[in-house]
Structure 1
């Protein structure tokens, strides 16, 4: 650590009674899983996450400018819909030498906390640990100061809070203006209180140590706030005997509405720090134990478990708006209808049903605010401002999600509540079908300029929406609508296989367009391929251009130009005919690298396979977790468990690559450091296809159709949540054990292994097929002809 020579401070004594913690955070976290970071990624982000507040900084303990949505402001401490601080810093001095602790040599990530280790001087070690309590607008930072030498040390310790109270993205649309930050020091409590001069936004911070000085501007660890922010410092004097260590804690709280609320939160987290940490540990143990996985592949098992933790990091609970799963950190910490159509399916499979319901309700609320026609919004800031009222793919896939929610939960009240939105949403989609051929016109998931004709993902998800709506209508007694929706679903299923299949490409089409439109898109794709130096793609596109140019008319036709990942959505939803699926899955395997599936196939670079080298924010050339997960699901749907597992192994190559315990949005180390849809990519193929869990909570029934990858002979999935039931499924070489907490539920087991003359609880089974129907709390199926 580079020393800074000390500038004398003005010392003022303040009254503050210390409260030594009974146990350090370091001790309380000692039995939790921990992931150590890599030295080469110490200058990349981490997140200390809570549902009300979170902090984003670098693994080396610094808080540099981060992000682009609000340029340079997406890091720091956020208490949505406002930011509290750009960060904080500890400075220590030993006589005349001053050290700023912003260059940690080690970083350790826990499911609920983070830790940095500093070695500023030969005889000093500092361990910083921070966590954010559940449902609190505050965070706690603990420093363990250790004297590793043989002489006593008298330290001056400065904690600088880099206050920057400011509103979230799109605040200008609701006429919110960021005012100058002002501050006062309370000598009675030993705390700084800062406020925005134009708004009711506040932050309070202090320590459990006696304060010997406070200062504004702050200490030498201040980086001179830009704009309306202000740095504030508190100083304590710490004496350390040889080989002694002391625990020092700092507390940060905030409020969108009042100073009193911020102070109440501050007092609560200061007085109950350890109990709040223990509560969070217990809650994360419950997350780990719900849909708990045990498989031979330890790397996949660890990725699965941590992805459940990662998803919880993204829950945002915002006063006045609601509670829901955000998309990603640091630049997408707000709510997306589109992203959640994927992510919430993974949360259903892993048992977070309450979080799914809250998110669905929030998205519906935000959508109805800007749309009165069933259209589901795409993106909204945490201040409630909707940025994009909805892409064409979002509404139909959200309808599909609603039926998934009903299957897992049996929540009939929610089904009745959302069915009118489903009806209106389908009517809106039909209005977007300009030529009446059943295919809505407009952009889907792919954000490629000019690509806004009839898109494969929009059509596939529309088919899924009609199929889901038919089942909803039937459940609610709307038989006429059910029949109509089913007819449309069958029509689209047939048409997707007839009109969207491109035999020459061995793939479903990217889009359908006229000859003129297609030629324009090919020209743009050639420019793209040349620009990013993909000669193989440019050559392929030039040949395609010749073929399209020879067409005699300008009628709409299906085309494969970009090899976008969405061409695989017919397999993701199981719509593709089996023979076409086999060819399409084989084609898709060509557009991968060691980390997964390319977003746009013509960006494939066979030499790529190392860390990303993007110099500016762009998804061109990206390999992303969502397309890779979709491919894992697609392979599994069509019985290829081993091929599916290969995609999960590609995801695992990016797990912990930069941020230990997490997967980036763009593999392996670009974009968001934690991404919501990763739970869909990882959990859905495992739970829904390898274990084959098919829930029908409304019937009090669950079907298992297992199809495990080679070598998964001893596996277990415990506490699978379906409705009010918890089911555990275990497979060994000798058979199956299935338990449940509700004895009146029916369990269906469908497996070719039932040909092995099974016994049920010691009694020979009478079987006429490879399907067993089971009731009761515990059933053990053993094979007699092994």
Structure 2
């Protein structure tokens, strides 16, 4: 998913609400937009950020933090999600055609696997509300503000978790009593998430005509019948639109798209309808009308029931949703010198919560990359997962979840990623007949586009699966989860070596994260993650007493690790080959981002972490080159006529390599995916390269896409950053854009801070915890509270000497340094180890634990010397290390 796919190559203070009266409408007491305060620029911002483009403002909405923007709203998409539904529109209030899987049909209102509406539009006194003056991203909801004569209208969109539809609240604020005419247009497009626009069959054949009627006070849309496609089944899909109050008029049939023109689409089989309401607005109180949209695959009766549930106390549902998001926000409470990075991580917690999805009654079938529609191979009653991205990647993916797992555990959102891995396992077992291969993607109605046994990949997501399971086990200590997944993880690794190592050299064949022309059969990222997967399987085997698997996996991992550099390193250009050819093992170098994975990976061997696979000298040279303008977005690139981003290119360009290499192929692709930048940030951290122009720039590259000048939706991490080969989403047609929200980019901010800077290393399966911080030189301190580990939590604070002068940026002249680590565990432990990374050029003069001299050990790692002390497992523990220059 994501960068594997070539489709994008080439893309005022508000009054507190009071209860009023309005023709029986549901009225909200929930305060929406609060006082707006200009967002402050973080210390890591560069001069390149200072542009005419306005910043988002920090505000509050429903008692929670929020971000508002007011520029180019018609060009900005937004997404509001719940576990059973979501809405995608523009921040100005419109619903133009969006997305490309089904061209122009990926926006609107959805309850997966069904699309319900192309959109819903609101008008007041004959004028459409499509020109919002501001848009606000809140926790679990969004709002828009419209000015209409002397009337202010605020619209709130949200999807209550567990409900199959969406709510739209319209709050009227007037200085005088008046009656307004509220018009609601709805255009249906009852359509399944699969087939897509180019598949066989396609939606042009599969999508049947919708019908519309009025049932009491509601519009009812319905699609019934059997698509003229072999193996398609009869269906009765329905969507209903209405309010708790009675409309004064209605219209049906034809196009009802508010101010927007009809979309000429080969897939369009929808119909429209209009409801009109007379709303009494008081000059003394705020008046809110709630409009709901709900749907079902089992006919109108169930859809009506869903709408009844949605319209029952919607303001309480909104408060409940925000409260649930605030609970998630309380996990991993960070205090960082870099305020933008801290706020970015807070919003990434919300992004991950936004990504939680549920699908039911999945009829699993292998579509052979969209070329077939066979009988289902089996059925899954229910799956819970993290949708990869909105609007075009909302479903279940293997590789996305395996990267997103690192961010998920670090912000304490254990259950969603557990559910995701369980869903992958269950679907893979059915579709791949128990082989052990992990599927690539499953659409919410059950179709697998890619990832069957006969497909050439993705090998990387099968070998990454044991690592994702081991990660969850270490952070949660959940032996039942490990036991449930263990046999499948063992078969993951057995499958790949039995079926995908034709030349028996240990380097597996098959696709990895990058699929581009000219690559050899054996891919670098597959090799890197295979080694890690074997070690992680070995660790789980050890914990279960499975000696045979332990011996096999560790022996194989050790062998591959010993030969890795000889097979993959290219000394002429100080990079690893991106792939090897079979059978001659020739190295192919195309400058793809996967060249950073040997530095990004962390392996566990005999319970000890080992950071990176490559030697420090090689890593430094490789990462130095990746920081150049040929490989990363730096400065004022002449190809860029929009805001630039300093992240890592998908594929670098010639011009910076120190010499030539015969196996080099120019495959330049200057797109900056947030995942690529995340990989670079983690790789820099593994080798202790925390400088502002090293890891710092890549942390900032992803964070700045969320705030203070958001890429599209404030707070949302997108799929692709502004970059030469892509452009910027705001400047592209909405049917050609990358995702407005993509989950995996959070890996590049959350993981470096929690795991590398604060140094938290849980091994809760053995009830052990290590905390060995390593702060950037420009950070004198950092801390986290309520960091979830096992069935409890831990608080960590770290201090190190501030070795840079804030004014000059130069290193301070001092010969005495103090490093402190303080840990307060609120979890049952067998062992607690505190430590700190100490620079090689400094000599330890004293080490104390809780004020007493302490014995310590010193471990050399790729990020520096780790000085470690064993501490008591209860109560606050404080380590102080004093050093002097050698």
Question: Which category of TM-score, normalised to the shorter sequence, fits these structures?
Answer: 0.7 to 0.9
Q: What is the aligned partner in structure 1 of residue 477 from structure 2?
A: 410
Q: What is the aligned partner in structure 2 of residue 482 from structure 1?
A: 550
Any residues of structure 2 matched to 1:185-584 within 5 Å, and which?
185-187=214-216, 190-198=217-225, 199-217=235-253, 221=258, 223=261, 227-240=268-281, 245-320=286-361, 321-371=382-432, 372-389=434-451, 390-430=457-497, 431-513=499-581, 555-560=584-589, 562-573=590-601, 574-584=612-622
Label 1:192 to 1:705 Cα distance change in 2 as closer, same or farther (>3 A).
Answer: same
Instruction: Indicate yes or no: 2:211 matched with 1:182.
Output: yes
Larger mean Cα displacement after TM superposition, 642-651 or 292-301: 642-651
Counterpart of 2:854 (choices 766, 772, 775) is: 766
Q: Distance in 2 between matches of 1:785 and 1:416?
A: 44
Q: What is the aligned partner in structure 2 of residue 718 from structure 1?
A: 785
Counterpart of 1:134 (choices 148, 161, 164) is: 161
Any conservation in 1 of the 2:69–2:134 contact (CA below 8 Å)? yes
Label 1:326 to 1:23 Cα distance change in 2 as closer, same or farther (>3 A).
Answer: closer
Deviations 1:425-446 (A, max 9, x none): 2222112111111111222111
Give the Å deviation of 1:54: 0.3
Give the Å deviation of 1:141: 0.8
Any conservation in 2 of the 1:460–1:570 contact (CA below 8 Å)? yes
Give the Å deviation of 1:732: 4.1
Residue aligned with 1:563, SS:
coil
Q: Distance in 2 between matches of 1:784 and 1:603?
A: 45
Counterpart of 1:729 (choices 783, 786, 796) is: 796
Deviations 1:497-541 (A, max 9, x none): 111100001111111227xxxxxxxxxxxxxxxxxxxxxxxxxxx
| Structure with the higher helix share, 1 or 2 | 1
Q: What is the aligned partner in structure 1 of residue 674 from structure 2?
A: 625
Label 1:481 to 1:108 Cα distance change in 2 as closer, same or farther (>3 A).
Answer: same
Q: Distance in 2 between matches of 1:711 and 1:756?
A: 23
Label 1:91 to 1:468 Cα distance change in 2 as closer, same or farther (>3 A).
Answer: same
Give the Å deviation of 1:25: 4.6
Give the Å deviation of 1:360: 0.4
Deviations 1:144-173 (A, max 9, x none): 22335x7x6432111112222111123777
Number of matched pairs? 711
Deviations 1:464-515 (A, max 9, x none): 111111112222212122122111111111221111100001111111227x
Q: Distance in 2 between matches of 1:252 and 1:16?
A: 20
Q: What is the aligned partner in structure 2 of residue 118 from structure 1?
A: 146
Q: Distance in 1 between matches of 2:763 and 2:525?
A: 26
Larger mean Cα displacement after TM superposition, 219-228 or 440-449: 219-228
Deviations 1:737-770 (A, max 9, x none): 3222225443211225795645544x41432443
Q: Distance in 2 between matches of 1:351 and 1:23?
A: 28
Q: Distance in 1 between matches of 2:668 and 2:467?
A: 27
Q: Distance in 2 between matches of 1:357 and 1:603?
A: 42
Q: What is the aligned partner in structure 2 of residue 592 from structure 1?
A: 632
Label 1:344 to 1:159 Cα distance change in 2 as closer, same or farther (>3 A).
Answer: same
Q: Distance in 2 between matches of 1:135 and 1:745?
A: 39
Q: Distance in 1 between matches of 2:167 and 2:678?
A: 36
Alignment TM-score, normalising by the size of structure 1 = 0.85
Any conservation in 2 of the 1:595–1:653 contact (CA below 8 Å)? no
Deviations 1:321-373 (A, max 9, x none): 41101110111011110111111121112211111110001011111222131
Any conservation in 2 of the 1:595–1:654 contact (CA below 8 Å)? no
Q: Distance in 2 between matches of 1:340 and 1:303?
A: 20
Q: What is the aligned partner in structure 2 of residue 696 from structure 1?
A: 763
Larger mean Cα displacement after TM superposition, 325-334 or 728-737: 728-737
Q: Distance in 2 between matches of 1:173 and 1:724?
A: 48
Any conservation in 1 of the 2:578–2:594 contact (CA below 8 Å)? yes
Instruction: Please identify runs of 4+ aligned residues in structure 1 that moved more than 6 A.
Output: 171-176
Alignment TM-score, normalising by the size of structure 2 = 0.76
Counterpart of 1:663 (choices 717, 723, 729) is: 717
**Structure 2 unaligned blocks of 5 or more:** 1-21, 35-59, 226-234, 362-381, 452-456, 602-611, 634-644, 657-666, 723-727, 730-737, 801-817, 858-866
Q: What is the aligned partner in structure 2 of residue 43 from structure 1?
A: 75
Instruction: Indicate yes or no: 2:686 matched with 1:637.
Output: yes
Q: Distance in 2 between matches of 1:162 and 1:84?
A: 9
Residue aligned with 1:597, SS:
coil
Deviations 1:143-202 (A, max 9, x none): 122335x7x643211111222211112377799943322233232xx2222221222222
Q: What is the aligned partner in structure 2 of residue 534 from structure 1?
A: none
Q: Distance in 1 between matches of 2:302 and 2:655?
A: 53
Q: Distance in 2 between matches of 1:412 and 1:677?
A: 26
Give the Å deviation of 1:41: 4.7
Give the Å deviation of 1:604: 9.3
Q: Distance in 2 between matches of 1:322 and 1:299?
A: 35
Instruction: Indicate yes or no: 2:748 matched with 1:681.
Output: yes
Any conservation in 1 of the 2:790–2:827 contact (CA below 8 Å)? no
Counterpart of 2:107 (choices 75, 90, 100) is: 75
